[in-house]
Structure formats: C-alpha cells, structure tokens
Structure 1
Amino acid sequence: MRTLSRRDLETLRLVVTHQRHSVPTFGGLLLFGRARLTRFPDAWIQAGRFMAPAAGFSR
C-alpha cells in the first residue's frame, strides 16, 4: 500500500494551510477523523466513478 505525503493530502484537499499550519478540511475529518461521528453525526459520503472513453474513441 502506498503512503500519502503532505503534498498528496493537499492535492486531494484533505488538508489546507492556515496560518502556516496544515489543518484538516471537513472532508479530511469525515474520511480520517477519530471522532467523526461525534462531530458530524448525520454526515454521509457519496462517491461515483466514471469510466473514461476507450482510446481512439471519437464522436
């Protein structure tokens, strides 16, 4: 399994820089927070995956 660097977390917008400190976003807290059910009891995440067209596909 690959480990995530700070840059990866910033690219995924799971952390942001605030006053020269890296702090988690709401998304970061929902995905990886220890007390996420306490902080966001009614939150849920919905995700979708879209397939890319095949190589050489033209309309």
Structure 2
Amino acid sequence: MLLAGKTVIVSGVGAGLGHRVAETVVRDGGRAVLGARTAANLAKSAAEIDPEG
C-alpha cells in the first residue's frame, strides 16, 4: 500500500489516463481528488472508480 494515507489530485478522469491513474490510487489505498470537464463525467467516473464513495 504505497499510497496509503496519501491524497492525490487527478485531472482528466472522464476517460483515458486520468481515469486509470485515479483507479490505481484508490486501489493502492490512497485518496483521489477528481477533476473532469463536466459534472456528468465526474459523477460517472467517481462511481466507477470508488462505488463506495
């Protein structure tokens, strides 16, 4: 758990690299602060990355 206790700001989470980076951060025990171009993309990605919130 390399990222346990760490917070990472990730932009461009709507698709592609940003989305994958955020998934990796959460999977490795960190917290991801997400940014996307639209609220709809942000909500969709947040639900996919961490369904528990």
TM-score, normalised via structure 1 length: 0.21
TM-score, normalised via structure 2 length: 0.22
The structure with the larger Rg is 1
More strand by share: 2
